[in-house]
Structure 1
Amino acid sequence: MNYLFWNIRGLGKGEKISTIRTLVVKNKVSFMGLVETKHRRSINSRIKRMWGSGDYDVCEVHASDIYSGGIFAIWDAGTFCASKKHCGERWIIIKGSIKMINFECCVGVIYSPNDRVGRITIYEELKILIVSINRLVLLLGDFNVILQPSESIGIFRCNLSMRDFSEWIQSLGLIDIPLHGIKFTWRRNDSKSRLDRGLCCNVWLWKFPNLNFKKFLENELTNLPNVSLNNKLKVFKGPLRAWSKEKFDRMDNKIGELESVIHDLERLSDVRGLNDMEKARLNASQNHLQS
């Protein structure tokens, strides 16, 4: 069972919907959580375009304003059977079971606020609920706080907030799921932090020993190729298919090469600062993907 979490910073209408659909299909996603959707009313009309199949269940929390907020969870109803949905302003907790192995659990999508007082309020709400549900828990979210100093470079770190977060995790008996492939999940210029993470109880790791948390490269989330042909062009379907395959095969190869360069340089920057030549190459590769 594959899970997808994304702080989407506004759901939008066309491009991001298509990107979500591609990610869901490509990665065989069974459960998806989106935060900061900024949607103020139901997005039922766009769900099938995002998910593809019709066998799904959803839970959503509308944004309180147009600038931030909004949480959305969708899952394959044939894989995960929900028995109860719990919602707060910044979280969704779904109680249910994974059908194939009859694994009773609860899965949550969390979007913590930026301020310490707000986060503490969220911690208290979730702790009371999780203890009362008494199910094996998996939480995916943008917690807007780091767990230890090594998870942040170039920005102010609040030791009190780290302690609050660590104590809350320990009080629920949760484990930080390993981040695969890269050290940080948020970057701005030379500042970077690990703000997104997955947390679970140890039974999840016993049941799924290969469980890990992977960060997608930015271009996977914003620049996936999307080809749409008008119905009037059906007469050219064969030639266009051949042209499209050749064109986008070359494009995919180029994108793959640039992804590899970006990934290697970002991993290197996790270990040490990049020199001027490396920074220039990273910026050039990122700009080329967006051109």
Structure 2
Amino acid sequence: MSKLFVWNVQGFGDPNFLTTVRQFIRDNNPYIIKLFEPRSGYKANSVILALGVPNSHRIEASGFSGGIWLCWKNTITTDILLNHFQFLHFRVHNIDGSSSLVTLIYARPNAVKRNTLWIHLHSLSSSIHSSWLLYGNFNTTLHTVDRKGCSPNSRPSRAFQDLVLNHGLQDTEFQEPEYTWTQGDSYVRLNRMLCNTYWDATFPMLGHSTHIIS
């Protein structure tokens, strides 16, 4: 059964980064590792090699937009289906013979640029007829309770809500803090894991997931 490890990385400048990740890999043996917001530039290959995971695919960071890295072990196979500057879409073939579509999302902070994300996700969802998992930083909120201590003018995204409602997406249960971004006395949940109606609640990858948000 597949285990996945997801980490929002604020760059690789911390000298403890590799030590922490390698220790986690040794302790938990995940088959899939997903890193968001890496900005290591030319060091990317050496960082991935140091993780000890033989397979990888990445969307590089651009300007203020973070990158997406996907690493996986030889015990599973992964088909990369679509690269986009705000998401990576792929199919995972698990060791038990099952498979699932997964979309890793790192949305642009700018609402106008983020509109292209909703358009592409609507299009993807309309063509999917199998289990589908979406995870990442949507850089906006879905519910009013996703914000605490924020300006009264800050509201959930209607475009995000339409995506979830129109395509029957739902939150999954997973290990993550209630709020994934904080500044001063403001707390916001920007990260979510969603699945479609084809997703079985007992699907192996979900029940054995570990998520670390930094």
Deviations 1:152-186 (A, max 9, x none): 11113543x52211111223322111354742222
**Contact 2:7-2:212 at 8 Å conserved across structures:** no
1:82, 1:181 → 2: CA distance? 25
Query: 2:70 maps to what in 1?
Result: 73
When structure 1 is superposed on structure 2, of 37-46 and 192-201 the one drifting more is: 37-46
Q: How many residues align?
A: 211
Q: CA 1:136–1:211 in structure 2 vs 1: closer, same or farther (change >3 Å)? A: same
Q: TM-score, normalised by structure 1?
A: 0.63
**Contact 1:39-1:70 at 8 Å conserved across structures:** no
Deviations 1:100-136 (A, max 9, x none): 1x22211121101122222221111233234445442
Q: Which gives a bigger RCO, structure 1 or 2 (Cα 8 Å, sep 6+)?
A: 2
**Contact 1:41-1:62 at 8 Å conserved across structures:** no
When structure 1 is superposed on structure 2, of 179-188 and 190-199 the one drifting more is: 179-188
1:112, 1:178 → 2: CA distance? 21
1:128, 1:91 → 2: CA distance? 13
- The offset of 1:212, in angstroms, is 8.2
2:141, 2:149 → 1: CA distance? 13
**Contact 1:42-1:62 at 8 Å conserved across structures:** no
1:95, 1:172 → 2: CA distance? 19
Please say if 1:89 is aligned against 2:90: no
Please say if 1:155 is aligned against 2:156: no
**Contact 2:3-2:210 at 8 Å conserved across structures:** no
1:217, 1:5 → 2: CA distance? 7
Quick one: which of 60, 63, 81 aligns to 1:62? Answer: 60
**Contact 2:3-2:208 at 8 Å conserved across structures:** no
**Contact 2:3-2:209 at 8 Å conserved across structures:** no
1:214, 1:45 → 2: CA distance? 24
Please say if 1:18 is aligned against 2:14: no
1:5, 1:217 → 2: CA distance? 7
Higher-strand-fraction structure: 2
- The offset of 1:7, in angstroms, is 1.7
Extract unaligned runs of 5+ from structure 2. none
Partner SS for 1:23? helix
Deviations 1:39-78 (A, max 9, x none): 444722221312x35xx4211011223x542111112231
Quick one: which of 169, 194, 197 aligns to 1:199? Answer: 194
2:4, 2:88 → 1: CA distance? 15
When structure 1 is superposed on structure 2, of 113-122 and 38-47 the one drifting more is: 38-47
**Contact 2:130-2:198 at 8 Å conserved across structures:** no
Q: TM-score, normalised by structure 2?
A: 0.83
Query: 2:124 maps to what in 1?
Result: 129
**Contact 1:105-1:136 at 8 Å conserved across structures:** yes
**Contact 2:4-2:208 at 8 Å conserved across structures:** no
Q: CA 1:44–1:215 in structure 2 vs 1: closer, same or farther (change >3 Å)? A: closer
Please say if 1:176 is aligned against 2:171: yes
Partner SS for 2:18? helix
Partner SS for 1:44? helix
2:213, 2:116 → 1: CA distance? 32
When structure 1 is superposed on structure 2, of 202-211 and 163-172 the one drifting more is: 202-211
